[in-house]
Chain A
Amino acid sequence: MLERLIARIIIGFIRLLTGAQAYWRGCTPNAAQRIYFANHASHGDFVLLWASLPPWLRRRTRPVAGADYWNKDALRRFMGGKVFRAVLIDRERREGAPDPVQQMVDALAGGDSLIIFPEGTRNTTDAVLLPFKSGLFHLATQYPRAELVPVWMNNLGRVMPKGELIPVPLLCTVTFGPPLARVDGEDKAAFLARAREAMLALRPREDEDEDDTPSDATPFDPL
């Protein structure tokens, strides 16, 4: 009960800050079991993704997050474990730690969908995406029943850049793409490259001039 209330408050806050506009392109918000894989630029990412799902899907969708961060203190343990129901994995792959891929497969076997960030950590560089970790590939191979849905989140890195405590309000969009097709016998590198392309294809076009060229260098064709 308390967890639900806190979740609602956080989602309301994220909505006020960002508008949390969801675009479903190539798939609909439905009951299919899914692995949403998304770009990662800010701590707010999965809350934004979560907030843009309809409530009945939200309850069946768990984020995959780093145990090192969410186990640090009692508050984070409560938020991560109870409010967000995160699947906490050990990113360092220490001796004796449970196998992250197995943990994710277990969570999927429990019937929930997952949100994962294939970059493995927040991207605070100027690069569009960091190189992907192999987790997404292993997960896709070991649990082929789940749909692999690429997601692109726009702007959240501007709302709360790394090292800042107070977010600024900016509209963010969350774009859900068509599920990634399965290709038999595809190797890891080819699969990850395809997953990366599927995510990049969802970028809104205003992003294209977010580099250091003046925006009026892009001609606009009225209608």
Chain B
Amino acid sequence: MQNPFPTLYALPIFAGAVIVLTVASIVGWVLKLRLAPDGPHPTIDNLNSRIRAWWWMVGVLAAAFWFGKGGVIVLFALLSFFALREYITLCYTRRGDHLVLMLAFFIALPVQYALVWIDWYGLYAIFIPVYAFLLLPIFAALSADTTRFLERASKVQWGLMICVFCLSHVPALMSLNIPGYENRNLLLIAFLVIVVQGSDVLQYVWGKLLGKHKVAPALSPSKTWEGLIGGVASATALGAALHGITPFTPVEAALVALVICLMGFFGGLVMSAIKRDRGVKDWGHMIEGHGGILDRLDSVVFAAPIFFHVVRYGWV
């Protein structure tokens, strides 16, 4: 008989997340009572709305995991949609880009995820980097509007790469056939998300506790050397501790975790540079306390393809 709950093996991960969030909620509540019982306190209130948002994000991810591959693909397609919406909003576009934007949102994005769904690696690995890259500027050129043409064409392509191509490598992990690791690929996604997001959170915590020396003051006022080193080191340790849910040995898990943490950190830096260039603090306002979808996903976006390739060429 077929297992009626084929995705239930991911349950302990979510049980762990619930425990961590419960502890975080209690800490946030105690901090609020101790330090600012009656008035607003920007840091603590932001911390508490971040924790509340984390409950939602874990809940949404759990719901997607429940439905297995289909759920994860639909979730990440939606995240791509919202991320691209935030990204294009901050880009300079003109009337002549309308068709190109329609194709990006309503053709390129669903086709990329459909290719991930049917597991056509050879095409989804080049669909946006080659075909969208060549075809979209053709349609842009046909609109006959040459004002800032190269800039407009590049920005749309960059948005598709970041928000759709890179992000689609998260659900693509579902289709890797790793010997001895059959039907457990959801845990690879869990490993990626926990380590990369954990690294963000731990960098934030270390930075708030010890942070003094800024890494890149021109890009981000909140990233410090103390936060970076403490966060990446502890997230690497977290990755090693999670080796049991992966096909990696503890040392391999630590190395992979280190690589994706660093990619995540630099992803955050690059996306900050774009925000600074556009004169905004956040990409959007969809997630309370965090900003937009892209503010939360910037690290995952940069880590996902690298993680995918490391696993694909090392373990498949």
Contacts and interface: CB of A to CB of B under 8 A. Distances in A.
B280 interface: yes
Interface residues of A, number: 22
A48 B218 CA distance: 36
A85 interface: no
Main secondary structure of the interface of B (DSSP, over half): helix
B155 to A, nearest CB: 10
Contacts of A189: none
B85 interface: yes
Contacts of A171: 85-86, 89, 284
B275 to A, nearest CB: 9
B92 A222 contact: no
Contacts, number: 52
B92 A166 contact: no
Contacts of B276: 220, 222
A205 B279 contact: yes
B220 to A, nearest CB: 8
Interface stretch (B27-35, B93-101, B227-235): B93-101
A197 to B, nearest CB: 23
A201 interface: no
Interface string A149-192: 00000010010010010101111000000000000000000000
B60 interface: no
B309 interface: no
Given A168-B101, A169-B105, A222-B221, A215 B278 contact: yes
B277 to A, nearest CB: 6
A223 interface: yes
Given A21-B285, A215-B92, A168 B102 contact: yes
Nearest to A169: B85
A19 B276 CA distance: 22
Interface residues of B, number: 29
Interface in B247-280: 276-280
A63 B302 CA distance: 45
Contact of A212 (B95, B105, B147, B279): B147
A95 interface: no
Interface string B268-310: 0000000011111000111000000000000000000000000
A158 B221 contact: no
B65 interface: no
B282 to A, nearest CB: 11
B102 A166 contact: yes
Nearest to A167: B102
Contacts of A21: 285
B90 to A, nearest CB: 7
Contact of A169 (B81, B278, B280): B81
Given A158-B93, A220-B277, A19 B221 contact: no
B42 interface: no
B81 to A, nearest CB: 7
Contacts of A212: 147-148
15 contacts: A19-B85, A19-B284, A21-B285, A168-B98, A170-B85, A170-B88, A170-B89, A206-B280, A212-B148, A218-B279, A220-B276, A220-B277, A220-B279, A222-B276, A223-B221
Given A164-B98, A168-B101, A212-B147, 12 more contacts: A19-B285, A168-B88, A168-B98, A168-B105, A169-B85, A169-B105, A171-B284, A205-B279, A210-B92, A212-B148, A220-B279, A222-B217
Interface of B: 81, 84-86, 88-90, 92-93, 95, 98, 101-102, 105-106, 147-148, 151, 217-218, 221, 276-280, 284-286
Interface of A: 19, 21, 155, 158, 161, 164, 166, 168-171, 205-206, 210, 212, 214-216, 218, 220, 222-223
